[in-house]
Amino acid sequence: MTTSFIVLAAGKGSRMNSDLPKVLHPLHGKPLLHHILDTLHSLNTDTDHRYHLVVGYQADAVQRATQDYSIQYSIQHDQLGTGHAVQQALTTTVTPDEHTLVILPGDCPLISSSTLLNLLNTHHTASADATVLTTQLPNPGAYGRILRNASGDLIGIQEANDCSPEQLAITEINAGIYVFNRTALVDSIQTLTCANAQGEYYLTDVIGNLHTHHRIVSSVCTDDPTEAMGVNTADELSELAAKYTPNQ
C-alpha cells in the first residue's frame, strides 16, 4: 500500500505584494514550502511514500527551489481553485496503486508530523473515505467553516465567502489538510462545479458530496491552531514567525 502526499503550491499569493511565489517566502531563513516538505519526508509509517507538488505561478522557480526533494510535479496552468489543482495531480502523476492520498496546502509550515500521523491513523481506523483536519478559532475570519449535524457528524465544509450569518458564527474551521481514499476522491471530484462566490472548483465540496452519498467522513481536531495557520499576507507571515522558533 502506498501513501502519497499532494502539496498545492500553484498560487501567486497576490496579497503578499511580492513577485516571489507565496510558498517560497522565507520563515526563519527557509521557504514555507521547505518546512512542509521536510515534515512530510520525516514521517515514519508502514507504507511506501510518494510526493506530488502542484505548481503554477512561476512554476520553474518553485521546481528549482524543490529540486533536491524526491517529488513529482503537476502544472495547474489556470488557477481555478483547490479542486481543480488536485485534478491536475490525479490526471498526470498519481497512479492507481496510490491508495491513500494526503492533501495539504504549501503555505502551512507549522503542521506537525505527530498531527499528520494522527490524521492518517484516524483515517485508517475509521475505514474512512475522507478525513479532515480541523481546529477551533474564536475569530475564524476567512477560514472555511466545518458543518456538522445534530449527531456531530461532519457533513460538509462551507467556504467563508459562501457562508450564511449563522454559519459564519461557527468556530470550528477547516485546516485545509485531508486524507482521502483515492477511489472515493476520484469519483467525487468529477462532480465539482464552480457555482460559488469565487467561481472556483472547491476541494471542500468533495466532503459534502461524500456525505451525501453515504461515504464515511471522519475528522481530527488539533488543539494547536497554529498548525492550521496559512500565509496570505506579509503580516500573517510575521505573525507566524513570532509563533515559531527554529529550535522547536
pLDDT tens for the chain, 248 residues long, are 789 999 999 998 888 888 899 999 999 999 999 999 999 999 987 778 999 999 999 999 999 999 999 999 999 999 999 999 999 999 999 999 999 999 999 999 999 999 999 999 999 999 999 999 999 999 999 999 999 999 999 999 999 999 999 999 999 999 999 999 999 999 999 999 999 989 999 999 999 999 999 999 999 999 999 999 889 899 989 988 887 766 54
Q: Domain count of the chain?
A: 1
CA atoms within 13 A on the CB side of 194: 10
Could you tell me the residue range of the domain that residue 140 belongs to?
Answer: 2-243
Q: Is residue 99 part of a domain?
A: yes
Q: What is the value of pTM for the model shown?
A: 0.95
Burial class (CB in 10 A: 0-12, 13-18, 19+), 163: middle
Query: Does some domain include residue 25?
Result: yes
Q: For this structure, is 148 an active site residue?
A: no
- In a domain, residue 185? The reply is yes
Q: Is 136 within a domain?
A: yes
Q: Which CATH number is 219's domain given?
A: 3.90.550.10
Answer whether residue 248 is part of any domain.
Answer: no
Catalytic residue among 15, 50, 145, 148: 15
Nearest to 155 by CA among 244, 231, 218: 218
CA distances to 27, 174, 194 from 91, in Å: 32, 25, 19
